[in-house]
């Protein structure tokens, strides 16, 4: 028998006696593999970030230092290999009809996916200051317009409130949830909850508040002649350096007085008892006024009347605030803020599904049960909403586009 016939018989043996068959790995099979891998890696990334947040809330509860890490995107490099082997039996005497009847063949497929990622301390990232700075109010406005639950937004984002007509802010730091809050905390808490309820009804909106008029800024006239001639006005002989000196002088005056220099477009009567300062040639007056900056807060939806001005929290302050709510409550009786429970932990899984399981101080905690239905008696647990919001903010904090608030003051 020549070599070609032997090869043909061997091939027939492999086809008939093969002990493994590899399925088609066409476009459909490849797409399914990619889909499964992407979903699995996305789930791993989300669970890791959620666990970092949950651990830090528990650390804040126990007054342990918080610590954040950056988690890079998880990628997979799958490899596929096909391996085959064959064992050919000897030719039978007399050239039997099936000379390779004792032969065997096997083919195997191996698929390996190696996940790659990196975990680094947040301090290694020069953008991490965003975790400690107040989040820009535009971010709160974006979530507000997107329809997020009002009570979740107003408790998490708002660090201090200045109610209309008042000069001193009220700080929402967790003390109002203690077993014996102060009288002022208890009163302000009731007022704030009333604003939250009005916002849920659509009677209150959030946005940038109108700037106060000069009449509302406690302005007093400032002598432009004195400013120009005594504190550094332009001198024709100084080579034009006077203009720069004037800017420096204005900044110096504002720093020393804590107020702002404003050039009014109209003539204004001076405060009784003060020396009358004549306007300049354009009939304007230089005024020294209380400083103002962009103010954000809650307004009446119909009239636009300001109700309360707010200062926003930093991301880290959100974590510590939630830790305070855990400290003031227990797993059996968690803190209730405006008829909602912002953060709740469970000692056992029971028969519910949970978003995250974490270990802290030799104890196991289950967090964010997936509640079904709205017919829950008593306060509503919104831990899932809170964790979802914090996840998004934590992810944004690791990007260049994260919005950071400029320095601002409360009136």
Helices (H) and strands (E) in the chain, counts: 9, 17
Tell me, rounded to whole angstroms, the distance of Cα 266 from its chain centroid: 45
Q: Flag whether pLDDT at 228 surpasses 90.
A: no
Residues 32 and 125 in one domain: yes
Q: Is residue 13 part of a domain?
A: no
Let me know: does 105 contact 18? Beta carbons within 8 Å. Answer: yes
Give the tens place of pLDDT for each residue, 62-117.
999 998 888 777 777 767 676 777 676 665 555 556 666 666 767 776 767 677 77
Q: Is residue 204 part of a domain?
A: no
Beta strands in 186-239 (DSSP E): 204-208, 220-222
Q: Can you tell me the distance from the alpha carbon of 50 to that of 72, in angstroms, rounded to the nearest whole number?
A: 14
Q: Can you tell me the distance from the alpha carbon of 296 to that of 293, in angstroms, rounded to the nearest whole number?
A: 10
Give the tens place of pLDDT for each residue, 324-359.
999 988 888 899 988 899 999 998 888 878 888 999
pLDDT computed for residue 405 by the predictor:
41
Residues 120 and 247 in one domain: no
Expressed as residue numbers, the domain containing 262 is: 214-289
Residues 326 and 382 in one domain: yes
> Could you give the number of structural domains in the chain?
2
Residues 319 and 249 in one domain: no
Q: What number of residues does the chain have?
A: 411
Residue 171 pLDDT class (50, 70, 90 cuts): very high
Give the tens place of pLDDT for each residue, 20-63.
444 555 667 667 777 887 888 888 888 888 999 999 999 999 99
**Which residues make Cβ contacts (< 8 Å) with residue 182, sequence separation at least 6?**
175
Q: Which of 289, 305, 323 is the last residue of a domain?
A: 289
Residues 282 and 322 in one domain: no
Q: Is residue 15 part of a domain?
A: no
Residues 261 and 383 in one domain: no
Q: Is residue 205 part of a domain?
A: no
The whole-number average pLDDT for the span 124-151 is 82
Tell me, rounded to whole angstroms, the distance of Cα 204 from its chain centroid: 24
pLDDT computed for residue 225 by the predictor:
58
**Which residues make Cβ contacts (< 8 Å) with residue 322, sequence separation at least 6?**
57, 60, 342, 343, 386
Q: Is residue 163 part of a domain?
A: no
- Residue 252, CA atoms < 13 Å, CB-side half-sphere: 9
Give the tens place of pLDDT for each residue, 351-381.
878 888 999 999 999 998 866 555 567 788 8
């Amino acid at each position: 028998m020549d070599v070609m016939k032997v090869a043909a018989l061997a091939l027939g043996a492999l086809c008939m006696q093969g002990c493994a068959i590899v399925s088609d790995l066409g476009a459909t099979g490849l797409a399914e593999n990619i889909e499964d891998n992407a979903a699995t890696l996305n789930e791993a990334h989300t669970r890791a970030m959620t666990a970092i947040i949950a651990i830090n809330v528990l650390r804040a509860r126990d007054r342990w230092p918080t610590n954040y890490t950056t988690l890079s995107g998880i990628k997979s490099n799958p490899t596929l290999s096909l391996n085959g082997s064959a064992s050919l039996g000897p030719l039978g005497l007399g050239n039997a009809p099936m000379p390779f009847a004792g032969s065997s063949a096997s083919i195997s497929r191996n698929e390996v996916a190696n996940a790659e990622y990196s975990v680094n301390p947040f301090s290694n990232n020069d953008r991490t200051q965003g975790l400690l700075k107040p989040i820009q109010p535009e971010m709160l406005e974006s979530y507000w317009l997107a329809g997020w639950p009002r009570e979740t937004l107003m408790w998490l984002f708002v660090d201090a409130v200045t109610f209309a007509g008042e000069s001193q802010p009220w700080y929402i730091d967790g003390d109002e949830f203690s077993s014996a809050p102060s009288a002022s905390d208890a009163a302000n808490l009731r007022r704030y909850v009333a604003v939250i309820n009005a916002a849920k009804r659509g009677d209150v909106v959030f946005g940038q508040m109108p700037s106060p008029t000069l009449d509302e800024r406690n302005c007093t006239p400032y002598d432009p002649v004195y400013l120009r001639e005594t504190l550094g006005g332009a001198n024709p002989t100084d080579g034009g350096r006077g203009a720069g000196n004037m800017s420096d002088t204005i900044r110096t005056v504002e720093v020393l007085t804590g107020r702002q220099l404003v050039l009014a477009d109209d003539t204004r009567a001076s405060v009784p008892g003060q020396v009358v300062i004549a306007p300049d040639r354009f009939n304007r007056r230089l005024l020294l006024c209380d400083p103002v900056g962009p103010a954000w807060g809650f307004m009446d939806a119909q009239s636009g009347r300001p109700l309360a001005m707010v200062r926003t929290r930093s991301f880290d302050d959100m974590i510590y605030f939630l830790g305070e709510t855990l400290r003031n409550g227990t797993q059996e009786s968690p803190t209730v803020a405006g008829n909602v429970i912002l953060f709740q932990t469970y000692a056992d899984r029971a028969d519910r599904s949970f978003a995250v399981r974490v270990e802290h101080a030799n104890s196991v905690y289950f967090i964010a049960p997936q509640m079904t239905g709205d017919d829950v008696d008593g306060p509503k647990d919104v831990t899932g909403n809170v964790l979802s919001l914090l996840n998004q903010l934590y992810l944004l904090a690791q990007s260049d586009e994260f919005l950071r608030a400029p320095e601002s003051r409360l009136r």
